[in-house]
Amino acid sequence: MKKVSILIIVSLLFSCGYSIRKVSELPYREIEIGTVQNRTFEPDIEDILEIKLTDELSKQGFLIKNTAAHRITGTITNFDLKVVSEKDQFSREYEVVIMADIVLTGPDGFELKLINVRSPFIESFTAETDINSIISFKELATERALGSFANRIVSEVIYK
């Protein structure tokens, strides 16, 4: 019975597009996170993106080093807080959209440009008319959007 359970789990993992990857299969082992510029009016999102990139790269097995041969830099080009729905002439539901240009450089002139990369998931939140709840929910949604964004960038780094 135990062997059947293991076989079913392994079959499900491999049939759904998931694969188990060893750290030794990464395209390179070390990476540096360079400057992330913020060309939007949203304060401090570049710092949050750097933290999220560091976390996601570390989770995937990369070593973050200032002397690494490969380096990620980026520019956040767009941050939108869009109204998704209204009720009684008040905005109730919002959506956070982030776009950036990311560049990965490496030895021998290697360069991977990811231009106009958009946060892969719609991060939305519902807030009442109270401005404090709107601000706090917006900050949480922004962090989630930047986390998803970092995940997408790391996926591009690994699989390109």
Residue 4 has pLDDT above 70, yes or no: no
Q: Is the pTM of this model over 0.85?
A: no
| pLDDT mean over 103-124 | 86
Domain extents in the chain? 27-159
Token pair of 50 as six digits? 């750097």
pLDDT of residue 81: 81
Does residue 18 register a pLDDT over 60? no
What's the helix, strand, coil split of the chain in %, to 5? Answer: 40, 35, 25
Q: Do 149 and 120 form a contact (C-beta atoms < 8 A)?
A: yes
pLDDT by residue (tens digit) across 52-102?
A: 999 999 998 889 999 999 999 999 999 988 777 777 766 677 788 899 999
How far, in Å, CA of 132 to CA of 60, rounded? 36
Q: In CATH, which of 3.40.1790.10, 3.40.50.300, 3.30.160.150, 3.30.499.10 is domain 27-159?
A: 3.30.160.150
